[in-house]
Chain A
Amino acid sequence: MTERSLSEMPGGASYDAADPDSARVRALAEARSGELGPLMEILHDIQHTVGYLPASTVPVLADVLNLSRAEVHGVVSFYSDFRTSPPAATTVAICRGEACQAVGAEALVDHAKTKLGVGVGEQSADGSVGLEQIFCFGNCALGPTATVAGRLRGRLTPASLDALIDDAAPGARQ
């Protein structure tokens, strides 16, 4: 494909079937195109490989799987795990389920917002650190719980969370 097809979708998503990742995206899609209902699996594969879903994801998957762009876009936007922009270098994801709330999760979220200077669902301007909320990691007897750089941690206190963040992202704002 030599012609660049660039388009805007509602919500500001821009598609580019010829972005620099498009060859990888196409290869990952074709590797599973013979499976039954493989779209979610392919999206996971792409996000695992690239780190997020690049602009070629929707047009290329629509082409390979013979789906409409709207169908692929609909799946991408439905699930909170799928992201269309690069993640922060270090992500802090705090559980806000009831069991963790019972042992101080809300205070931990507030603490993290202050410490990192970002809101939930945001990342710092330099992309070094991001804050997210999760509803349950299944660590409900040993909360409060969070992942820092993908590593699950329980029995957290503001101080122990700070230590984990400082370890994973030394430049994180105080």
Chain B
Amino acid sequence: MTVTVYVPRDSSARAVGADEVAVALTAEAARRGDDIRIVRNGSRGMLWLEPFVEVDVDGTRIGYGPVQPGDVAELLDAGLLSGADHAVKHGAVDEISWLTRQDRLMYARMGVIDPLDLGDYQAHGGLVGLRKAVSMAPQDVVDVVTASGLRGRGGAGFPAGRKWQTVLGAPGDTKYICCNADEGDSGTYADRMLMEGDPFTLLEGMTIAGLAVGATQGYIYLRSEYPDARDILGAAIEAAREFGWLGGDVLGSGRAFDISVRMGAGAYICGEETSMLDSLEGKRGMVRAKPPLPALEGLFGKPTVVNNVLTLGSVPFVLAEGADAYASRGLDRSLGTQIFQLAGNIKQGGVVELGFGVTLRELVEDFGGGTASGRPIRAIQVGGPLGSYLTADQLDLPLEYETFAAAGAMVGHGGIVVHDDTVDMAQMARFAMEFCSEESCGKCTPCRVGSTRGVEVIDKMTAGDDRTGNLTLLLDLCDVMTDGSLCAMGGLTPMPVRSALTKFPEDFGLTPQEVTP
């Protein structure tokens, strides 16, 4: 009897040997005459266990990991194909508490299905949302999304329904859906995992958005650092066209919608929505002034929905299960679930989907298991390179947009980067400025020039050159960047800098009194 073995094709799994494991399994099984079928699934998100191999034993998937290519022969000897015990066995995957403690809505199929098998996708709830949307009036679809409370997952948290309503109401025959897949924030990889592990969910969300606002063309703006996602999305789009989903007649509705992937070229700023639109048009990725809103004058000057991968990826569930089911998760005005991503110096790194309101401690300690180095946590950066640094004393903060904002921090795209006590926070502050100077589009002076001056001022401080005078200068510079920058790049770079200064003054050779305003 053929035994099905799952070996992830997720690029993080591949980066630590999943391809070699798949090759070794094929070769060893052939040598032994074992009849196996290898499915390259997405990752379950327990990345510290990658390569994580699953074996289907009488309908139950048994997990082993991390598996190295050199372990394969020994694992087969031990009885891998019948789910036998082994030091790296984790038992039935469905019963692993790291997974059962989560509330996977958008990520329900992640690691479960073959990412490019439309039959598998539908057998696990795929296309239910789109089939409903096809039979609904556009306004009704927008109303469901509005009622769900879904907010933009790219970082800004703008209500998705309100954006869709604006585009639906905008005059014009040509409208676009643009998916921002320029996931440039270090510490975030949930977009990548969805695109690689369950691409149809994103395509379904985009199609629903297109039907809702009257757009017939969607673009995915994908960063060039994600070549695997490009290949998988391309194959998924082809499969959806052949199926009669994408193209001139969406699931027999008589309405058209198609999707193209366009690649970025290594510019962080193109994750900013207006810069992304310019880049999609084939131009330099320069930030545009707002207004006009992209919802009214977006791509090629047409009304455009710009949403993040995770925003659009949430939509199929919202349509399938209803607004109330989605809004029953979360806290206050942050409704639904977020894909939190544990990264950096973390023992058990990976993705955790839970309703907003989960605390940092639950994520970093309970799920993450503390630092990988075993040393104490010193600083945690939430929300990407433009997010504030938090201390180990702030672990009880619930991850919720407004609570974080009140604490001078931001949830952003849900990335959580842990640093142990060896981190030099003056160097991290310097890096924030250096990164901004590397990646600034150059349109506005506070960002373009301020970031370079910021690096210089921090260098003077750490060299011991007039620390208090330069501190005044740095804080002043942060004010100018915050108040005077055109977009979040220059406007938020002071967040990590200020938080490093006020919470870790000793790293700058300063006392707490000196940095207290």
Contact = CB atoms under 8 A, between A and B. Distances in A.
Contact of B343 (A75, A82, A99, A134): A99
Given A136-B186, A141-B342, A142-B16, A40 B417 contact: no
Contact of B186 (A38, A140, A154): A140
B372 A103 contact: yes
Interface residues of B, number: 59
Interface stretch (B107-115, B247-255, B263-271, B487-495): B263-271
Interface in B259-290: 262-268, 279-285
Nearest to B185: A136
Contact of B300 (A36, A99, A134, A155): A36
A171 B344 CA distance: 33
Interface string B378-402: 0001000100000000000000000
Contact of A39 (B15, B283, B349, B419): B283
B423 interface: yes
Contacts of B344: 98-103, 140, 143
A154 B47 CA distance: 11
A139 to B, nearest CB: 5
A80 B267 contact: yes
B330 to A, nearest CB: 24
Interface in B470-497: none
A97 B373 CA distance: 18
A139 B186 contact: no
B407 to A, nearest CB: 19
Contact of B346 (A44, A136, A141): A141
Interface string A32-51: 00001111110110000000
Q: Which of A80, A139, A155 has the most CB of B within 10 A?
A: A139
Contact of A102 (B15, B47, B225, B417): B417
A40 B221 CA distance: 12
Contacts of A79: 264-267, 285
**Chain A contact surface mostly:** loop
Interface stretch (B119-127, B146-154, B187-195): B187-195
A105 B268 CA distance: 19
B186 A75 contact: no
Contact of A145 (B15, B267, B428): B15
Interface string B194-222: 00000000000000000000000000000
Given A78-B284, A140-B189, A141-B343, A101 B431 contact: yes
B284 A134 contact: no
B50 interface: yes
A101 B417 CA distance: 10
Given A81-B224, A102-B344, A136-B225, A75 B267 contact: no
Contacts of A140: 186-189, 341, 343-344, 349, 415, 417
Interface string A128-156: 00000011111111110100000011110
Query: What interface size band does chain A fall in?
Result: 35 or more
A86 interface: no
A5 B463 CA distance: 51
A20 interface: no
A74 interface: yes
B420 A102 contact: yes
Contacts of A135: 184, 186, 268, 435, 438-439
A39 B266 contact: no
Nearest to B346: A141
B90 interface: no
Nearest to B217: A36
A51 to B, nearest CB: 15
A163 to B, nearest CB: 13
Contacts of A75: 282-284
B12 interface: yes
Contacts of A134: 225, 266
A39 B263 CA distance: 11
A40 B381 contact: no
A119 to B, nearest CB: 15
Interface string B318-335: 000000000000000000
Contact of B266 (A80, A99, A100, A152): A80
A141 B263 contact: no
Contacts of B428: 98, 101
A36 B238 CA distance: 21
Contacts of A155: 15-16
Contacts of B192: 138
A78 B285 contact: yes
A138 B11 contact: yes
B283 A136 contact: no
Contacts of B185: 136
Contacts of A39: 282-283
B15 A152 contact: yes
B350 interface: yes
Contacts of A78: 267, 284-285, 441
B418 interface: yes
Given A41-B262, A43-B265, A81-B266, A98 B15 contact: no
A153 B441 CA distance: 30
6 contacts: A37-B280, A80-B265, A81-B224, A135-B435, A140-B186, A143-B343
Interface of A: 36-41, 43-44, 71, 74-75, 78-82, 95, 97-103, 134-143, 145, 152-155
Given A101-B344, A152-B15, 10 more contacts: A44-B224, A75-B282, A82-B265, A102-B343, A103-B345, A138-B225, A140-B186, A140-B343, A140-B417, A155-B15
Which 7 pairs from chain A and chain B are nearest by CB? A141-B349, A97-B186, A39-B282, A102-B344, A79-B265, A140-B343, A154-B15
